[in-house]
Amino acid sequence: MSAITGHFSYWVTVFLMVAGLYIIISRTNLLKKLIGLAILQTSVYLLYIAPGKLIGGTAPIIADGFSSYSNPLPHVLILTAIVVGVATLALGLALVVRIREAYGTIEEDEILGQED
């Protein structure tokens, strides 16, 4: 397998990771930064889930006729990570709403430009 197709999921992971980080760093809009954050976190989900899957493997329930199972642990971990991600996003959005109420804008440079 070539370096590209054989590591396909990793390439996607890396792309999402870098794209997310880039958005966080380059955008001044607080909402867009949150979107970047969400994309960054999504890359983690993929990083964990993809290697856990065995091609041809089934859910890890012992039954006759099945010998290869996918690893369930990454799913459990990522379920937790997703919950954490949702909580972070919700909190971030709540903060953005309140920032907008307090400052009248969600552009970072405009906010930092305002005096106290």
Partner 1 sequence: MLEHLPALQVVLPLVAAPLIVLARHRGFAWLATTAVSYLCLVIAILLASRVMEGGAVSYAIGNWPPPWGIEYRVDALSSFVLVLVALTASFVAPYAHRSIAAEVPAERHYILYAMYCLCLAGLLGITITGDAFNVFVFLEISSLAMYVLIALGKRRKALVAAYQYMLMGTVGATFYVIGVGLLYLMTGTLNLADMAERLRAVEDVRPVLAALAFITVGIGLKLALFPLHQWLPNAYAYAPSMVTAFLAATATKVSVYVLLRFYFGVFDPSALFERLPMREVFIALSVAAMLSASLVAFYEQDVKRLFAWSSVAQIGYITLGIGLDNQASLTGSITHLLNHGVTKGAIFVLLGAVALRSGAISVSVASLSGLGRRMPLTAFGLVIAGLSLVGIPGTAGFISKWYLIVGALERGMWWVVAVIVGASIIAVGYVWRVVEAAYLHPAQGATPVRHEAPAGMLAAALGMVILCVYFGIETSFSVGAARDAALLLLGGAR
Partner 2 sequence: MKDDIILRVVAKLLMPFMLVFALYVQFHGDYGPGGGFQAGVIAAAAIIFYAIIFGLAAGQVLAPDWLVETMLAAGVLLYAGVGLAGIALGGNYLDYFVLDADSVTGQHRGIFWVEAGVGCTVAGVMLKLFYMFAGRSRDAEDA
93 binds, among partner 2, partner 1, none (CB under 5 to 8 A by kind): partner 2
| Residue 29 phi, psi (nearest 5) | -75, 125
User: 20-39: which residues touch partner 1 (CB under 8 A)?
Assistant: 21, 24, 30, 33, 37
- The mark string for 53-82 relative to partner 1 (x by CB under 8 A, - otherwise) is --------------------x---x--xx-
The reply on whether position 113 binds partner 1 by CB under 8 A is no
Does 103 contact partner 1 by CB under 8 A?
yes
Q: What does 79 bind: partner 1, partner 2, none (CB cut-off 5 to 8 Å by kind)? A: partner 2
Distance of closest approach, residue 66 Cβ to partner 2, in angstroms: 16
51 — phi, psi (to 5°)? -70, -15
DSSP characters for the chain? --TTTTTHHHHHHHHHHHHHHHHHHH--BHHHHHHHHHHHHHHHHHHHHHHHPPTT-B-S---TT---B--SHHHHHHHHHHHHHHHHHHHHHHHHHHHHHHHS--BHHHHHHS--
Give me the residues that bind partner 1 (CB under 8 A), please.
Answer: 17, 21, 24, 30, 33, 37, 40-41, 43-44, 47-48, 51, 73, 77, 80-81, 84, 87-88, 91-92, 95-96, 98-99, 102-103, 111-112, 116
